[in-house]
Structure 1
Amino acid sequence: MNANTTQMNVMNIPLFDVPATSMPALMTVPEKNALKARIRDLLKRENAVMVAHYYTDPDIQSLAEESGGYIADSLEMARFGKEHEATTLVVCGVRFMGETAKILSPEKRVLMPTLEATCSLDLACPAESFSKFCDLHPERTVVVYANTSAAVKARADWVVTSSIAVKVAEHLAAQGKKILWAPDRYLGNYVEQVTGVDMLCWQGSCVVHEEFKTQALEMLKEKHPEAGVLVHPESPASIIALADVVGSTTQLINAAQQMPNPIFIVATDKGIFYKMSQAAPEKTFIEAPTMGEGATCRSCAHCPWMAMNGLDNLATTLESGNNEILVDPVIGQQAMVPLQRMLDFARQG
Structure 2
Amino acid sequence: MMVNQSSIQTLLSKEQAILIAHYYVNAEIQQLAQDTGGIVADSLEMARFGAEHPAKTLIVCGVRFMGETAKILSPDKRVLMPTLEATCSLDEGCPSDDFKTWKSHHPDRTVVVYANTSAAIKAQADWVVTSSIALEVVQHLHERGQSILWAPDQHLGRYVQHKTGADMKLWEGECIVHREFQAQSLIDLKARHPEAAILVHPESPLNVIELADVVGSTQHLLSAVQSRSEKIFIVATDQGLFYAMQAAAPDKQLILAPTTGRHATCQACGSCPWMQMNSVEKIEEVFNQPGHEIYLDEALIDRASRPLARMLSFKNNYLNRQL
TM-score class, shorter-chain normalisation, is: over 0.9
Structure 1 unaligned regions, length at least 5: 1-26
Q: In structure 2, what is the equivalent of residue 266 of structure 1? A: 235
Q: Are 1:43 and 1:318, in contact at CA under 8 Å, matched by a contact in 2?
A: no
The one of 284, 289, 293 aligned to 1:320:
289
What is the Cα deviation at residue 319 of structure 1? 2.9
What is the Cα deviation at residue 36 of structure 1? 2.0
Q: Distance in 1 between matches of 2:261 and 2:32?
A: 35
SS of the residue aligned with 2:288?
helix
Greater Cα offset, 299-308 or 289-298: 289-298
Q: Distance in 2 between matches of 1:60 and 1:297?
A: 25
SS of the residue aligned with 2:203?
coil
Q: In structure 2, what is the equivalent of residue 51 of structure 1? A: 20
Does 2:218 match 1:249?
A: yes
What is the Cα deviation at residue 321 of structure 1? 5.3
Q: Distance in 2 between matches of 1:221 and 1:35?
A: 43
1:148 partner amino acid: T
1:217 partner amino acid: L
The one of 166, 169, 188 aligned to 2:135:
166
Structure 2 unaligned regions, length at least 5: 319-323
Q: Distance in 1 between matches of 2:312 and 2:149?
A: 20
1:74 partner amino acid: S
Does 2:146 match 1:204?
A: no
Q: In structure 2, what is the equivalent of residue 80 of structure 1? A: 49
SS of the residue aligned with 1:144?
strand
Q: Are 1:35 and 1:311, in contact at CA under 8 Å, matched by a contact in 2?
A: no
Q: In structure 2, what is the equivalent of residue 217 of structure 1? A: 186
Q: In structure 1, what is the equivalent of residue 74 of structure 2? A: 105
Does 2:116 match 1:147?
A: yes
Deviations 1:159-195 (A, max 9, x none): 0000000000011011110000000000000000000
What is the Cα deviation at residue 346 of structure 1? 0.8
Q: In structure 1, what is the equivalent of residue 259 of structure 2? A: 290
Q: Distance in 1 between matches of 2:51 and 2:242?
A: 26
What is the Cα deviation at residue 320 of structure 1? 2.8
Q: Distance in 2 between matches of 1:339 and 1:303?
A: 25
Q: Distance in 2 between matches of 1:294 and 1:141?
A: 40
Q: In structure 1, what is the equivalent of residue 88 of structure 2? A: 119
Aligned CA-pair RMSD: 1.0
Q: Distance in 2 between matches of 1:216 and 1:197?
A: 31
Q: Are 2:84 and 2:291, in contact at CA under 8 Å, matched by a contact in 1?
A: no
Q: Are 1:162 and 1:247, in contact at CA under 8 Å, matched by a contact in 2?
A: yes
Q: Distance in 2 between matches of 1:85 and 1:298?
A: 40
Q: Are 2:110 and 2:126, in contact at CA under 8 Å, matched by a contact in 1?
A: yes
Q: Distance in 1 between matches of 2:217 and 2:287?
A: 31
SS of the residue aligned with 1:116?
coil
1:231 partner amino acid: V
SS of the residue aligned with 1:71?
strand
Q: Distance in 2 between matches of 1:208 and 1:320?
A: 31
Q: In structure 2, what is the equivalent of residue 240 of structure 1? A: 209
TM-score normalised by L of structure 2? 0.97
Deviations 1:133-176 (A, max 9, x none): 11110110000000000000000000000000000001101111
Q: Distance in 2 between matches of 1:295 and 1:52?
A: 32
Runs of 4+ residues deviating >4 angstroms: none
Q: Are 1:50 and 1:91, in contact at CA under 8 Å, matched by a contact in 2?
A: yes
Please give the residue correspondences for 1:178-193 in structure 2 after superposition, counting only pairs within 5 Å: 178-193=147-162
Q: In structure 2, what is the equivalent of residue 64 of structure 1? A: 33
Deviations 1:301-335 (A, max 9, x none): 00000000001111111233541001111111000
Q: In structure 1, what is the equivalent of residue 321 of structure 2? A: none
Deviations 1:189-222 (A, max 9, x none): 0000000010000000000000011111111101
SS of the residue aligned with 1:51?
strand
SS of the residue aligned with 2:240?
helix
TM-score normalised by L of structure 1? 0.90
